[in-house]
Structure 1
Amino acid sequence: MKEALFYSKILLFGEYGIIQDSMGLSIPYKAFRGELKFSSENFEAKEKSQKALNEYATHLQNLVNEPDFHAKIDVEAFKKDIEKGMYFDSTIPQGFGVGSSGAIVAAIYDKYAIDKFGQSEEEIGKNEIVELKEIFGKMESFFHGKSSGIDPLICYLKLPILIKGKGDLGTVGIPASNDSSAEEGAIFLLNSGTPGETQPMVNIFMEKMKQEGFRNMIKSQFKKYNDECINAFLKGDTKPLFKNLKNLSGLILDNFKPMIPKAFHKIWKQGLESNAYYLKLCGSGGGGFVLGFTQDLEKAKSLLKNHELEVIYKF
């Protein structure tokens, strides 16, 4: 079997906003990865994975018979491979907002889809990307109740994706990370130490959307700051990026407290008051990772010395 690696993803911008048609920007993150593997040995991780894969095979069996599902998946071959000892070997932490289920879906589609879409920019156009997103949304719904399909799409294509609206998305180039030894600005991950669950957080958000004040905040302020951050980041223009990041971070602290791990409330505020860094949600929140942005990495490291900080991009 040809081994195919699928990386995790990070939604840099757009958490919750993409539900309401604001922009989103998601990138592959190669520090975590997963692949379908065969093993004749039995061990706990394999048995746990196989149990989940068997349950997922039942979901797929039902899905392929639905008239509005536009993909052919060889579910029988999938089931037979599980019986032969196949499992999903993954270093992607579950419930941390970095696409653990997205990687599984991408790997299964890659191996078992008949007449599958290509993975390179040359092989797949904008319309195909939108169609693939819809397919992946239905495939990933098993894990989250409802899925946009964005996470598996990133994991499958292994390219940054710019979401301009529900039906308007495509691959995009991002400024190269400055990997010189001089540490200046950076994007980093902070580990809350506990996983979060997507569906309860989305439920809280949808309840909040019933309030007129919250709805207006999302449609005006949140969308404005989020979209401006994306535009500035893609242009490599750090001044407007950090100006809008501060506004976005403050807005999230004021309006998304249930989604922010309690241990992070204080350091979130510290970043805003010191201007040393700004934090935002990484995915739906509730646990997992939190994203940080700084123009002075050494200062941010000093203030966050009690927290596990992982740099993912340098300005």
Structure 2
Amino acid sequence: MKGPLFYSKILLFGEYGIIKDSRGLSIPYNFFKGALKKSDHLEGKALESNKNLNQFAVYLQEVQTESPDLVSFDLDSLKKDIREGMFFDSSIPQGYGVGSSGALVAAIYDRYGKDKITVLENLTREKLLRLKAIFGKMESFFHGKSSGLDPLNSYLSLPILINSQDNIESTSIPTQNPDGKGAVFLLDSGTVGETAPMVQIFMEQMKHEGFRKVLKDQFIRYTDACVEDFISGNVKSLFGNIKKLSNVVLNHFSPMIPKEFHQLWKQGIESNSYYLKLCGSGGGGYILGFTEDLDQAREALKGHRLEVVYNF
């Protein structure tokens, strides 16, 4: 048995903001992927994955009991496959903000979901919201609370435009320019980030009126502008807004930025050779970078590994 491949995702814009109804844009990232497989001899990561799937199956039974109108699964087949050595074979790094649990959730729903919404049907807004709700419930097993966007992106393998919590749509983004000098890239922080503690910090900060004002007047405003610029291909305006967004994150979201990257972050803004932003919840994992000149950014970030995600 080898299941279809499910890809990682990158939330280009909208981290934290989408909790408070900013816009967001999430794209599939085919460099990392995962699939359900079986083996007679489980060891190492495969054995660990199999044990996790066992716990996940117990959780899905609870979800089905609590929300029978939302989703139901072929639990007998799922449990049988787990007993027979099923695991999720994935190259998606965990705790890096690129959707490792999202791909697994999408794979399980795809194989074991009953009366499932398929990617081939006409995906109305209602269907997208229903899928998002199902995936949010499923992925909560891994994060305590989930928006459901990561699995949705992985399941559909399409860019998702988030207009607000209850207004999402699949969208198209401008075709990449393989010869372009500009790029979106991933920068490896070298440490794993945990989602739950970062979200906890954010929620604590939200208790302060000053932070809420910054979030509304600056963070969400620049995020929305970046989404609009990216989708419409307005690169000049995009970089102006990303610089402002990067600055707001450095000044007000510093606990989410690994300490050793504060200086690099500042350096990018001051030199204009690149701008950094959070990839997912932060705290480690990948950091997203935007540059109008990739060679210049590589030079400025010597000693760090850059993975190009998109070329302008």
Does the alignment reach a TM-score above 0.5?
Answer: yes
1:237 pairs, out of 229, 234, 237, with 234
Q: Which residue of structure 2 aligns with residue 41 of structure 1?
A: 41
8 A Cα contact 1:25 1:162, kept in partner: yes
Output aligned runs, 1:235-314, within 5 Å.
235-314=232-311
Deviation at 1:68, TM superposition (A): 6.5
Secondary structure of 1:179's counterpart equals coil
Identity %: 58
Deviation at 1:289, TM superposition (A): 0.1
Q: Which residue of structure 2 aligns with residue 117 of structure 1?
A: 117
TM-score w.r.t. structure 1 length? 0.97
Query: Structure 1: which 4+ aligned runs deviate by more than 6 Å?
Result: none
Deviation at 1:2, TM superposition (A): 5.6
After superposition, the C-alpha distances for 1:256-314 in whole angstroms (9 at most, x for unaligned) are 01100111111000000000110000000000000000001110000001111111100
Aligned partner letter, 1:299: Q
Structure 1 CA distance, aligned partners of 2:267 and 2:294? 15
After superposition, the C-alpha distances for 1:62-115 in whole angstroms (9 at most, x for unaligned) are 110013650111122111100011110000000000000000100000000011
Structure 2 CA distance, aligned partners of 1:208 and 1:222? 14
After superposition, the C-alpha distances for 1:186-244 in whole angstroms (9 at most, x for unaligned) are 00000011110000000000000000000011111111100000100111111110110
- The size of the alignment, in residue pairs, is 312
Q: Which residue of structure 2 aligns with residue 21 of structure 1?
A: 21
Structure 1 CA distance, aligned partners of 2:247 and 2:88? 39
Q: Which residue of structure 2 aligns with residue 67 of structure 1?
A: 67
Secondary structure of 2:65's counterpart equals coil
8 A Cα contact 2:2 2:35, kept in partner: no
Structure 2 CA distance, aligned partners of 1:90 and 1:229? 31
Q: Which residue of structure 2 aligns with residue 159 of structure 1?
A: 158
Secondary structure of 2:89's counterpart equals strand
Q: Which residue of structure 1 aligns with residue 168 of structure 2?
A: 169
Q: Which residue of structure 2 aligns with residue 92 of structure 1?
A: 92
8 A Cα contact 2:2 2:36, kept in partner: no
Secondary structure of 1:72's counterpart equals coil
Structure 1: which 5+ runs fail to align?
Answer: none
Structure 1 CA distance, aligned partners of 2:138 and 2:181? 41
TM-score w.r.t. structure 2 length? 0.98
Q: Which residue of structure 2 aligns with residue 12 of structure 1?
A: 12
Secondary structure of 2:222's counterpart equals helix
8 A Cα contact 1:63 1:69, kept in partner: no
Structure 2: which 5+ runs fail to align?
Answer: none
Aligned partner letter, 2:190: G
2:55 counterpart of 1:58:
no
RMSD of aligned residue pairs (Cα, Å): 1.0
Structure 2 CA distance, aligned partners of 1:187 and 1:216? 29
After superposition, the C-alpha distances for 1:132-178 in whole angstroms (9 at most, x for unaligned) are 10010000000000000000000000000000001000100000111
Structure 2 CA distance, aligned partners of 1:47 and 1:209? 40
Structure 2 CA distance, aligned partners of 1:292 and 1:127? 34
Q: Which residue of structure 2 aligns with residue 143 of structure 1?
A: 142
Deviation at 1:45, TM superposition (A): 1.5
Aligned partner letter, 1:71: V
